[in-house]
Amino acid sequence: MKYTTLPNTTTKVSKLCLGSMTWGNQNTEAEGHEQLDYALDQGINFIDTAELYPVPATAEMSGRTSKIIGTWLQKTGNRDKVVIASKIAGGGDYTAHIRTTGFSPDAIKEAIDLELKRLQTDYIDLYQLHWPERDTNRFGVRNYKYDSNWEDNFNEILHSLDTQIKAGKIRDIGISNENSWGTMRYLEESKNHNLPRISTIQNAYSLLTRTFETDMAEVSLRENVGLLAYSPMAFGVLSGKYIKGKASENARLKLFPRFARYSGEQANEAAKQYLKIAEDNGLSLAQMSLAFVTQQPFITSTIIGATNLEQLKENIESIHVTLSDAVLEQINEVHNTIPNPAP
């Protein structure tokens, strides 16, 4: 395994982070524990969850994923061996079953207290805002629409998180599904008011979604805010299983076809071309896709997820793959022809 530190901290994390979004829905508690055991044995010490998980989000299932991590921590006593990241859900119709008070001070306190109980721990290493409260581009939305009714609350949010840090409940903070303006506003408030500084941003990044490389890559590198890349496999499209017709009935896009973010005609065509590059160079598409993400200079950790142990093993092996300049050139040729086919 390869390691780094969360930016602006001394916390050591693996360059691969174990995602858990399917646990409690597509995966059982036993399967979640099995993945945790295997990942830890392979040197992964970084685990990502959220109060929203598993996805798709429902009132019945909300919090199940973190409870599975909690029972594993209680059973194994491995709390001091892992770095746990979690998130508070932002507003929206699909999260009203959790709360409707956004990132108010009481909401942040409530979310953290409930998550600590689910995880069966007394602190969370990295606490993230799952997406912005304000109406802005997120989850692949491209066309910005100005919301004149939103009131700036960056300072209040950071004060609330600072209170929780001083209480010992969380250690460091991050953001997710955020853009460059929001990121810089958090940094501005931290600098000007001596408030906690964001360490990471968790956004989508893959061969099919490289929009982070525009404005956000510069922010990340110049301001030392590391990317935790989610969906590096584009919901499994970049495993090649859908292209080859080998997807199981338990595959995400078969169970939940509404998650079509990475399944458009151009995305499928780009994936086919990336598959050919991988096979021509003796690589699996999955490992090439993950290696491409992990070796980017703005990446702190690549979040990998799997619904079975075989997938997880292949994904973890990608840490040993370094793409040559020749392969990167071929990848960029496809990207130049079909740039960012998924939002």
Strands 124-129 and 170-176: parallel
Q: Based on the residue annotation, tell me whether 53 is a catalytic residue of this protein.
A: yes
Tally of CB atoms within 10 A around 121: 19
Cα gap 126→169, rounded to integer Å: 10
Strands 299-304 and 16-19: parallel
Cα gap 42→320, rounded to integer Å: 12
Which entry of 38, 53, 242, 262 is annotated as an active-site residue? 53
Residues composing the chain:
343
* The Cα angle at residue 96 between residues 91 and 100, in degrees rounded to 5: 60
Distances (CA, A) of 101 to 111, 154, 229, 240, 308: 11, 15, 27, 41, 36
Handedness of CA 263, 50, 4, 297 (dihedral sign): positive
Provide, for the chain, the percentages of residues in helix, strand and coil under a 3-state DSSP scheme, each rounded to the nearest 5. 40, 15, 40
309 contact partners, CB below 8 Å, separation of at least 6 = 34, 35, 38
Q: What is the DSSP string of 239-292?
A: GTTTTTT---TTSHHHH-TT--TT-SHHHHHHHHHHHHHHHHTT--HHHHHHHH
Cα gap 334→271, rounded to integer Å: 9
218 contact partners, CB below 8 Å, separation of at least 6 = none
Q: Would you say 336 and 261 are in contact if contact means Cβ atoms under 8 Å apart?
A: no
Catalytic residue set? 53
